[in-house]
Structure 1
Amino acid sequence: MNIKSLLIGSAAALAAVSGAQAADAIVAAEPEPMEYVRVCDAFGTGFFYIPGTETCLKFGGYVRFQTDFGRNKSGTSDWDSFTRAQFEIDTRTDTELGALRGFIGFRGNADSGVGSSTASSSGNLGSGVFVDQAFIELGGLKVGKFYNWWDDGLSGESDELSSNALFNSIRYVYDAGSFWAGVSVDELEGISLGNSTTGFFNETDNNVGISAGVGAKLDAVSLQLIGGYDFDRENGSIRLIATAGIGPGTLGLSGVWASGANAYYSVSEWAVAAEYAIKATDKLTITPGAQYYGSYGLVSWDDFSDNDAWKAGVTVDYKITSGLSAKVAVNYFDIDNGDDQVTGFVRLQRSF
């Protein structure tokens, strides 16, 4: 009987301890509620709300590996490889004055051991990280460092329709959807004129330029007319780009003219370009193109040469998988009183 009483007492003690532990678990403090990230669909895909705010945020960019080829592409070598990293931060908020946007784009080039973030006349990119773009935008007003309309071009890699397109600027654009018009005041600082074939002429002083443009889109046809005036050189240029969906691809035509060498266009006195981007499959696009230059290259600070030139080539774009693409471009270039050459590149790019 004593042993039986001892066993019953032990079981009762264990039950009491277990009951105490269960009671403790019931009265334990509950965890703080978690605030989940909310998707922001007001400005397109990829945006989400910064927790605790009404500001939408999006990250993007790409990693690129590319090998260029052409005469003296890197010193006396006819080829040069480099790697580029682009990281972009895009923030947007709805306000009573319209959408408020802040954008920062960081770019890093890894080409050689040289600590330089800009391309040299030989095409070498050096190595370094720098701010590619940074701007504030509210409604149609945009201020900061960003790409001008002169950065736009045809979709292939056989055209050369601008000289400089990245400035610190103040710009206003009226956008009605199918029609837009805008004007930009640009700081022209450290501008290089000319090209790698005929040499460069640099401006070291800060100067001012004005660029303006209009554009329209009607069904499968798009038009863009832009102009730029360099007040220091007292020269300007004007350019028209037109594209139209025809058959299995898109036809692109462009013409550009300059009154003399200026910050926006100093490649030649005039030029015409054409291409046809063939959508062969959902993943493959083949774009043959050509351009003819009148009075190609500079022979002095302001004057173009008497030599004409032309270029013809093909660009192949292939989407390997979602976020990964390849591009191959090959061009043949010929100039009066000069040597012809073949140039191009092979590129692999991971975008996100």
Structure 2
Amino acid sequence: MNIKSLLLGSAAALAAVSGAQAADAIVAAEPEPVEYVRVCDAYGTGYFYIPGTETCLKINGYIRFQVDVAPNASSIGAGGGGSVPNDSDWDARTRGQVQFTAKSDTEYGPLTGVIVMQFNADNASAQKAILDSAYIDIAGFRAGLFYSWWDDGLSGETDDIGSPVTLHNSIRYQYETDAFYAGISVDELEDSPFYNGETANNVGVAVGLGGKAGAFSYQITAGYDTDNEEGAVRAMGTVAVGPGTLGLAVVYASNPNAYYNKAEWAVAAEYAIKATDKLKITPAVQYYNNYGITAGEFNDDNDAWKVGLTVDYQIVDNLSTKISVQYLDPDNASDVTSGFFRLQRAF
């Protein structure tokens, strides 16, 4: 056998073996398709589809550093959540807040769920995590833990026209259009400083309506505290005037209650000046009649004045600072000067 015959025989043998094993060839499995996060633009910017669902999710929040300055500084300008009081004339605090908003379409309109977690630190050893809000919204109905209309106020930091506790377990219905809203809520008031815990009437009923008409906006809010059998009502409005916005508010309470407890009645005014695209300056004043509480009732013949200045500056996109100084002068008590500096990064 010569070399040529040997080579031809070997080639034929290899071809036969390859043909016999062709049916057993290994085939690579197709990779499973990857579902990338899709943008959801049905409800505004920032939403994306939760993979595998038709539910849209938005995550946003802020990081805040604040220094309060006041006698026994505790929570000047806290903006919800409060802080731990101390015996110092100043108090540095840090807060982180994250909000999750989920939305999906139904035959009754958008179904919304909101969870807001807040983390407060007076210092490294005094930290507190709280559920700041958690509620369900559909077809105008809202149920859960959320802020009432009494949490609203003017844009500066001087006005003191809200309730002492504005976050409640509540159920409400609100009808709204682009220029008008009106609603009613039933609020659990166990967190109110005026709930004595001796009755089952730890509920309140609040109503709110408001809207816009050109450069003018308005809001009327009322609440009745069934435990104390007392109520309060407030009217508030803003209008664009010159380079800024004029804000006015008046509030009346029949006696101290869960919805208002600072004075029998009060009037607040401010002028928010848009000095530049980044700078807003807001001087403001408030007058209180029968200011303060003694034996569960407002103090007769004790009026008070409050004046203040708030400066907001947008450093860059999503980074802002706020400085506020307030002076309170009651007739029958010592005057108090307070203020705070805030640095906040939103996302």
Normalised to the residue count of structure 1, the TM-score between the two structures is 0.85
Tell me, yes or no, if structure 1 residue 213 matches structure 2 residue 214: no
- Shift of residue 176 of structure 1? 2.0
What is the 5 A alignment of 1:1-352? 28-73=28-73, 74-112=85-123, 126-162=126-162, 163-192=164-193, 203-204=196-197, 207-352=202-347
| Counterpart contact for 2:165–2:191, Cα < 8 Å | no
In 1: Cα distance, 2:97 partner to 2:184 partner = 28
- Shift of residue 164 of structure 1? 2.1
Q: Which amino acid aligns with 1:274?
A: A
SS state at 2:155 partner: coil
1:17 aligned residue = none
Q: Which amino acid aligns with 2:196?
A: E
Question: Deviations along 1:77-134, whole A, 9 cap, x unmatched?
Answer: 11111111111110011100111011100111111466xxxxxxxxxxx521010100
RMSD (CA atoms): 2.5
* Structure 2: unaligned runs, 5 residues or longer: 5-25, 74-84
SS state at 1:95 partner: coil
Q: Which amino acid aligns with 1:203?
A: N
Structure 1 residues 306, 113: closer, same or farther in 2, change over 3 A?
farther
| Counterpart contact for 1:299–1:305, Cα < 8 Å | no
| Counterpart contact for 1:261–1:304, Cα < 8 Å | no
- Shift of residue 302 of structure 1? 3.3
Q: Which amino acid aligns with 1:235?
A: E
Q: Which amino acid aligns with 1:249?
A: G
Q: Which amino acid aligns with 1:292?
A: Y
Q: Which amino acid aligns with 1:293?
A: Y
Question: Deviations along 1:167-203, whole A, 9 cap, x unmatched?
Answer: 100100011221111000000013125xxxxxxxx63
Question: Deviations along 1:256-275, whole A, 9 cap, x unmatched?
Answer: 00011110100110000000
| Counterpart contact for 1:309–1:334, Cα < 8 Å | yes
| Counterpart contact for 1:69–1:80, Cα < 8 Å | yes
SS state at 2:150 partner: helix
Bigger mean CA offset, 334-343 vs 224-233: 334-343
The percent of aligned pairs where both chains have the same amino acid is 55
| Counterpart contact for 1:260–1:304, Cα < 8 Å | no
- Shift of residue 341 of structure 1? 1.8
In 2: Cα distance, 1:97 partner to 1:324 partner = 38
Question: Deviations along 1:155-174, whole A, 9 cap, x unmatched?
Answer: 00000011221110010001
